[in-house]
Structure 1
Amino acid sequence: MSNPLGSSTVAVSALGFGAASIGNLYRAVPDEQAAATVDAAWQAGIRYFDTAPHYGLGLSERRLGQALAEHPRAEYVLSTKVGRILVDEPDGAGDDLANGFAVPATRRRVWDFSAAGVRRSIEESLARLGHDRIDIVLMHDPDESPEPDRALREAYPALDGLRREGIVGAIGVGSKDPAILARFATETDVDALMIAGRYTLLEQPALDDILPACVKRGISVLNVGVFNSGLLAVEWPDETRPYEYGAAPADILARAQGIATACRRHGVTLPQAALAFAAAHPAVASIVVGAGKPEHVERSAEWFAREAPPAQLWADLVDEGLLRPDAPTPA
């Protein structure tokens, strides 16, 4: 099943693949394992693939492009991001783990949301991917840049122009910051918002302003981080599981365990419920899950394909104060 993005001609599979892990997120992934992971996503029916220059200083784009070259170009949708230009660092020593990636620090990122930066970023991404087009271009984490408004003032108009020219099929922004997402939802005509960790079974702050604006204006949502960095990716979350890429606070862990307990009563696993819930909002076009091993993407696809959890599970979570009563739930 594929879902259109906004008013564009681009349609994405209901389950997407996030390629940060094959860019050596936190740990090295062998080339063969990265290729096998992308192939496992394809075999599972995934046809939407997302990457970024930021992921492994270009390694993710190179690996994803090589793996997808084995498949007909018309059969999948590819997105990458702009906002960080990669420049050579010939004397760079050590690795990039300070930024989360186990790759040599032979390059560095430079924030650039200018119109020229957007075009340069796209050209360089095309070269790394080995592709002649990118279907979706997203502005990446403008809230983290020194000049967040520059993405609105310069990058968005540049991308809008490329969309009008037919050079890219759809445009959007990706962030975990509710304020910047809300601004793009109300002040621009993007096709999609990539919402990171702000609409999950654990937390739903995007229900306040962002998702209502998306529904009103016909903007599609690419929902990422739906396991809250891994806390919801197991049947029983404990203190060893990450939350927001760090240790889970005691109240967050207790909430996750309360949800897991309710899931157990209804014969549902926590990750299965997390995926089903995250896809249920009418604005959501795709759930994008990351994986660095074939078995991880296969497991997510199997959870996603299961029958929807029973309606009583959601009612119980609302009654126990573990889910907002205004959150749409799976049929």
Structure 2
Amino acid sequence: MGFGAATIGNLYRAISDETARATVDAAWEAGVRYFDTAPHYGLGLSERRLGAALAERPRDEFSISTKVGRWLEPSDRGGSDLPIGGYEVPADFRRVWDFSADGVKRSLEASLERLGTDRVDIVYLHDPDDHWAEAVGAAYPALAALRDQGVIGKIGVGMNQWEMPAAFVRETDIDMVMLAGRYTLLEQPALDDLLPLCTRHGVSVVAAAVFNTGLMSRPEVSDDARYNFAQAPKKQIARAREIAAVCARHDVVLPQAAIQFPLGHPAVASVVVGARTAQQMSDAAAWMRAPIPREFWEDLRAAGLLGADTPVP
């Protein structure tokens, strides 16, 4: 299990530096050694807080990933970033899409400064949905050169869709795909194409947004739950509640099953989970460790909530 640091960048609402530090500390105490962040998260706040929390840890004992594609440019617009980017931070910067070779290098240099480290282990192209040509033609070659020089470890693409990551796997030599929300207990659209492709090409998949940004994060599904960063549609709420009902029959809680499910596929190397507080992080670690009976997965299949050929842990 990895730690997703978007939440400590004040995603949706502000938390204190002390709370953020305690959350990262709880992840470390739970055995987490992979930490993911991005300039986008809190306009750099996530990177600064994560770097500060890990500063006294032995650098060779953990891995950090960050992302490129959004350059942070100083801004005097004032106010909060919340209505624009979803983070409760002062809007002192604005995000500028930039997948040029120079933009990638500048972004990475700025990230290293905010993180307070001399290297990152993985760099992802972040959400190049509308920037395929520049991302594959400029950003990817720039990162590949840095990888060849030993400046960075592995390179990948991180997205909320599966189709473009599949194109990257086919047409480039990336090492990783961070797949957000497209291979979860709720839905598995990446199962038939992307994941087998990654297996064949030796590309590791990091499953992110395994709670579908909120819908699957609690034992009981609420009417106002989020799904893909917005209000969950009734159809998804109903399906989540059907899965939760099967959970209840096996003394399993919904987030426990959601965290463990992606790891049943051989292409998935890690599950990244975000947490806002130390308690949330401790809960996630406990859910990852708690055993799930084989009969639970069989009942999901019998109820038509999981495909007959879908791999399970």
> Shorter-chain TM-score: what band?
over 0.9
Number of the residue aligned with 2:166: 182
| Cα contact 1:18–1:49 (8 A) shared by 2 | yes
* Structure 1: tracts of 5 or more residues without a match: 1-14
Number of the residue aligned with 1:72: 58
Question: Shift of the alpha carbon at 1:292?
Answer: 1.3
The total of aligned residue pairs comes to: 312
CA distance in 2, matches of 1:285, 1:125: 25
Q: Report the residue type matching 1:290 in the other structure.
A: G
SS of the residue corresponding to residue 207 of structure 1 reads: coil
CA deviation profile, 1:272-316 (whole Å, cap 9, x unmatched)? 111111221111111000011111111000100112x11221121
CA distance in 1, matches of 2:296, 2:264: 14
| Cα contact 1:204–1:324 (8 A) shared by 2 | no
| TM superposition score normalised by structure 2 | 0.98
1:237 aligns with 2:229: no
CA distance in 2, matches of 1:250, 1:148: 33
Number of the residue aligned with 2:264: 280
1:84 aligns with 2:70: yes
Match of 2:27 among 10, 16, 41: 41
Match of 1:210 among 191, 194, 205: 194
Number of the residue aligned with 1:271: 255
CA deviation profile, 1:150-209 (whole Å, cap 9, x unmatched)? 111111111111111100010000001222111112111111000000000000001021
Question: Shift of the alpha carbon at 1:54?
Answer: 0.3
| 4+ aligned runs moved over 3 Å, structure 1 | none
Match of 1:290 among 241, 249, 274: 274
Number of the residue aligned with 2:308: 325
Match of 1:128 among 114, 119, 124: 114
> 5 Å matches for 1:55-70?
55-70=41-56
Number of the residue aligned with 2:207: 223
SS of the residue corresponding to residue 236 of structure 1 reads: coil
Q: Report the residue type matching 1:114 in the other structure.
A: S
Question: Shift of the alpha carbon at 1:135?
Answer: 0.8
| Cα contact 1:84–1:112 (8 A) shared by 2 | yes
Number of the residue aligned with 1:109: 95
* Structure 2: tracts of 5 or more residues without a match: none
Segment drifting more, 234-243 vs 287-296: 234-243
CA distance in 2, matches of 1:267, 1:298: 19
| Cα contact 1:228–1:244 (8 A) shared by 2 | yes
SS of the residue corresponding to residue 20 of structure 2 reads: helix
> 5 Å matches for 1:239-258?
239-258=223-242
Question: Shift of the alpha carbon at 1:148?
Answer: 2.6
CA distance in 1, matches of 2:101, 2:231: 38
CA distance in 1, matches of 2:191, 2:32: 27
1:119 aligns with 2:105: yes
| Cα contact 1:202–1:255 (8 A) shared by 2 | yes
- What is the RMSD of the two structures over their aligned residues, measured on CA atoms? 0.9
Number of the residue aligned with 1:94: 79
SS of the residue corresponding to residue 126 of structure 1 reads: helix
Number of the residue aligned with 1:310: 293
| TM superposition score normalised by structure 1 | 0.93
Segment drifting more, 242-251 vs 217-226: 242-251
SS of the residue corresponding to residue 233 of structure 1 reads: coil
Q: Report the residue type matching 1:195 in the other structure.
A: L
Structure 1 vs Structure 2: percent identity of aligned residues? 57
